[in-house]
Amino acid sequence: MQALASLLLAVAWMEPLPPPLATLRNPDFDTDPTTAPAPTNWRWYLDSGTGGELFWDAAVGSPAAGSGRVRNYRSGAREDFWGQCVKMAPGPFTLRAAVSSQLKANASCELRIEVLNQPDCNTTAGVLLTASVANTFNNAGFETLEIARTAPNRSGAAWVSLIHRQTDAATPGYSYCHFDHVEWNSALLFSASFE
């Protein structure tokens, strides 16, 4: 069983992960995750080296302004992302996110979920299921990415990632993804401010 250790050790310098909730914190990026008071909502991870950037964009979003932007300038294989841990019970689930892509060649915007065998996202958790979907458009317009699967028995939590990914063949030049309106399950209990 694959371990989640590399991801969590990469963000270990930040405060401890808050206990996962049944819903996502700040799913609409209504506030800046990088300055939010504890418990913070979206965690951020920059790949090794320089060139990656994650920040809150107050001007761009869907259906309203406010989104999490991920971009990278450097060449080569890189993965920079926002991530969050949520509770997960065995059974069917749906995960959706709006993404606006302006990408260089050999780069993509990806929604990914890793279903874990423990009730939180710690370094000893084993991955029971990984699923992902990437953008199909590259025109700065928003599209919806969707993952619909069934969480296996022993599922306890899941790590949700909003990723800017590029391959070995990527050349220098800015490339970015705006993520917004992340929906967890078809019966998501929205916050009062969810658009």
Per-residue model confidence as pLDDT tens digits over 116-155: 999 988 888 899 999 999 999 999 999 999 999 999 999 9
- Tell which wins on pLDDT, 114 or 51: 114
Distance CA 166, CA 38 (A): 31
pLDDT band at 9 (very low <50, low <70, confident <90, very high): very low
In this structure, is residue 162 part of a structural domain? Answer: yes
Residue type, 193: S
Q: Kindly give the residue spans of alpha helices, DSSP state H, lying in the chain.
A: 5-10
- Tell which wins on pLDDT, 158 or 43: 158
In this structure, is residue 194 part of a structural domain? Answer: no
Number of domains comprising the chain:
1
Copy the structure tokens of residue 13: 């310098």
Counting every residue written for the chain, the total comes to 195
| 54-74 pLDDT per residue, tens | 888 999 999 999 999 999 989
In this structure, is residue 99 part of a structural domain? Answer: yes
CATH number, position 126: 2.60.120.260
Phi and psi based region of residue 140 (left: phi greater than 0; alpha: psi -120 to 50; beta: remaining): left
Domain with 76 in it: 2-8+24-184
Residues forming a β-bridge with 148 = 94
Residues forming a β-bridge with 23 = none
Q: How far is CA 112 from CA 59, 75, 94, in A?
A: 25, 22, 12
Copy the structure tokens of residue 187: 């019966």
